[in-house]
Amino acid sequence: MTTLDCIDLDDLTIVKLKGPLTSEELPQVEEPFSAVTRRPGARVVVDLTGVDIVTTPALSMFIAAANLAKQSGGEVVFTEATPPVRDILRRLRLSSVLITIPGLEEAITHVRAKCN
């Protein structure tokens, strides 16, 4: 089962995803993920520590969220990807579209610096 937890800080939201992000599991988290990331000027750090696999629908959701946030003056940053997820992001060369930062604290610092 895939879950999504949000931690609201003063100036940004941390989204913690846990479980497989496959076409079967994604619908459980897609609506709440979109609600957080599609707010105008959204500043979001997506923690992928608990995600063991991502498929095309999840990657599409990530790209759409990053693009919409950028267009509205916000930012979505991805962090703490597990080795299999990190490998998929690397192989698909998604670093040109998605901002990925290795550590959670570093990602939070990046978003705060970028959006202030």
Domains and CATH numbers, the chain: 3-114 (3.30.750.24)
pLDDT attached to residue 10: 86
pTM > 0.75: yes or no: yes
Which one, of 59, 57, 32, 26, lies nearest residue 44 by Cα? Answer: 32
Give Cβ neighbours of residue 37 (< 8 Å, ≥ 6 apart): 15, 44, 46, 65, 68, 69, 76
Tell me the mean pLDDT per 10 residues along the chain, length 116: 94 96 95 95 96 96 96 95 93 93 95 80
